[in-house]
Copies of this chain bind each other. A is one copy, B any other.
Amino acid sequence: MAHEIPVKVRFSETDALGHISNISYFIYLEEARVEFFAELGFGRDINNWKIILASASCDFVNQGYYNQKLTVQTRVSKIGNSSFQVVHEIKDTESGELIAKGQASAVHFNFQTQKSEALPEFHRKQLERHLIKEASPHEN
């Protein structure tokens, strides 16, 4: 089950080549992630933030444009002890054309102790609801 957000490409998110800046895709992927994390129950409180990112990547499949309506779908590809991985697909909302694919590794993190912590059972169950079938869960 994919988590979905709509994204509207802002003018300032283009670059001098006339397309969406490569940078902006990472803005959209971050937006999809933080929305997904909030839905999983990690909250939106900046002073009690619980997730850090270990890595992020994006494959640029087709060029995107100013004013394009995009949909970012997020699924879970792996669940570890204190970390998990998500994969994203950015598609043109109308045509369904694949614009970009993303991936990120997130860590359940305690900013006070500056250490990672095991994922609480509640969040693990939430993550499993979004786990793609091909992936094997519970690996690190």
Number of interface residues of A (CB under 8 A): 35
Choose among B23, B38, B66 the residue that contacts A44 (Cβ–Cβ < 8 A): B66
Contacts of A126 in B (CB 8 A): none
A82 at the interface (CB under 8 A from B): no
Instruction: Tell me whether B55 and A30 are in contact (CB under 8 A).
Output: no
Choose among B14, B23, B52, B58 the residue that contacts A60 (Cβ–Cβ < 8 A): B52
Provide the bound-state CA to CA distance between A16 and B10, in Å. Answer: 11
Q: In the complex, what residue of chain B is closest to A66 when comparing beta carbons?
A: B16
Interface residues of A in 5-36 (CB under 8 A from B): 10-12, 14-19, 21-23, 26-27, 30-31, 34
Provide the bound-state CA to CA distance between A15 and B60, in Å. Answer: 18
A117 at the interface (CB under 8 A from B): no
Instruction: Tell me whether B57 and A30 are in contact (CB under 8 A).
Output: no
Give min CB distance, A9 to chain B, whole Å. Answer: 10
> For A15, A18, A53, which residue has the most chain B Cβ atoms within 10 angstroms?
A15
Q: List 16 A-B contacts (CB under 8 A).
A: A10-B30, A10-B31, A12-B15, A16-B16, A16-B18, A16-B19, A16-B66, A17-B111, A18-B18, A18-B47, A22-B53, A23-B26, A23-B30, A44-B66, A46-B66, A57-B57
Question: Which residues on A are within 8 Å of B, measured CB to CB?
Answer: 10-12, 14-19, 21-23, 26-27, 30-31, 34, 38, 44, 46-47, 49, 52-60, 66-67, 103, 111
